[in-house]
Amino acid sequence: MSVLLETRQLSKNFGEFRALDDVSIAVSEGELVSIIGPNGAGKTTLVNLLTGLLRPSAGEVLFMGRSIAGMGPGKLADRGLARSFQLIAVFPQLTVRDTIATALISRQGKRWQLFGRLAADAAIAARVREVAEMFGLSDRLATAAAALSQGEKKLLDVASAFALNPQVILLDEPTSGVSTADKHAIMQILIAAGRKAGVKAIVLVEHDMDLVAAYSSRIIALSAGKMLADLPPKEFFSDAQLIAAVVGKRRQH
């Protein structure tokens, strides 16, 4: 299996504080890798480093075999690395249709300019419908984001990231703030969408151990910036000591 996303001895300091310490991971084609750990473990910091939003203090990140140093989130998105955010980034007044269209145009504006204006509009509209369909949002296209349920908002946030046909997608708590009953539905929708869209690997930050156990092919556990484990779910969940170390107290966002 070819490695798509990799870190080598990656560390990140904020001033004197080391938020991530010597983390080496690799994500290969076909995997759904969950990053878990208590609040403050460094999960979001790791995602921010993987997506070029933060620069490493030491070590490096490689996407499809190339260092991402100096690339920045925009260029990385163009190359096929997409993400959703832990805190929803959708604009409340925009409709579902405009939110997805904005994501498409903001990253691929130049490409659309190669078409005539009308052809570009038609192509964007078609892609928006296709993405909305994948995420069960077809009948919400004209609805303002503010009027969506929390679960639908999370799906819209992920749908915007999917609009760009990514190779790899990073999801920071895609089900946070959603009722337990809806969490599985959301996970199933986004895994099915990933398969349909040809996404090659998913990296998931998740606190809910039911979801982690149900959907991960591998689990990477962080605590206080250090990597404690990198294991298949079966092995991880049979190690009581490890579980106790990793499944810390929850702080609500």
Binding site for ligand ATP (CB under 6 A): 14, 17, 19, 37, 39-45, 86, 251
CB atoms within 10 A of CB 85: 19
Amino acid residing at 245: A
Contact partner at residue 39 from Mg ion, ligand ATP, none, CB < 5 to 8 Å by partner kind = ligand ATP
Give the interface segment with Mg ion, choosing from 3-11, 39-47, 74-82, 105-113 (CB under 5 A). 39-47
CB atoms within 10 A of CB 14: 11
- With CB atoms as reference, the residue minimizing the distance to Mg ion is 44
User: What's the closest the beta carbon of residue 127 comes to ligand ATP, in angstroms?
Assistant: 31
User: What's the closest the beta carbon of residue 20 comes to ligand ATP, in angstroms?
Assistant: 7
Nearer to Mg ion, 6 or 206 (CB): 206
Counting Cβ atoms within 10 Å, is residue 101 exposed (0-12), middle (13-18) or buried (19+)? buried
Nearest-angstrom CA–CA distance, 199 and 30? 9
Nearer to ligand ATP, 17 or 118 (CB): 17
Contact partner at residue 139 from ligand ATP, Mg ion, none, CB < 5 to 8 Å by partner kind = none
If one asks whether residue 175 binds Mg ion (CB under 5 A), the answer comes out as no
User: What's the closest the beta carbon of residue 41 comes to Mg ion, in angstroms?
Assistant: 8
What does the block give as tokens for 160?
A: 């915007």
Nearer to ligand ATP, 42 or 151 (CB): 42
Amino acid residing at 33: V
User: What's the closest the beta carbon of residue 14 comes to ligand ATP, in angstroms?
Assistant: 3
**Within 13 A of 158's CA, how many CA atoms are on the CB side?**
33
Rg of the chain over all Cα atoms, to the nearest angstrom? 18
Nearer to Mg ion, 131 or 157 (CB): 157
CA distances from residue 202 to 39, 89, 230 in whole angstroms, order as listed: 21, 19, 16
Nearer to Mg ion, 44 or 108 (CB): 44
What does the block give as tokens for 4?
A: 């798509």
What does the block give as tokens for 1?
A: 């299996």
Nearest-angstrom CA–CA distance, 222 and 14? 17
Nearer to ligand ATP, 38 or 194 (CB): 38
DSSP 95: B
User: What's the closest the beta carbon of residue 83 comes to Mg ion, in angstroms?
Assistant: 12
- Give the end-to-end CA distance of the chain in Å, rounded to a whole number: 36
Can you tell me which of 7, 11, 34, 44 binds Mg ion, judged by CB under 5 A?
44
User: What's the closest the beta carbon of residue 85 comes to ligand ATP, in angstroms?
Assistant: 11
Residues near Mg ion (CB under 5 A) = 43-44
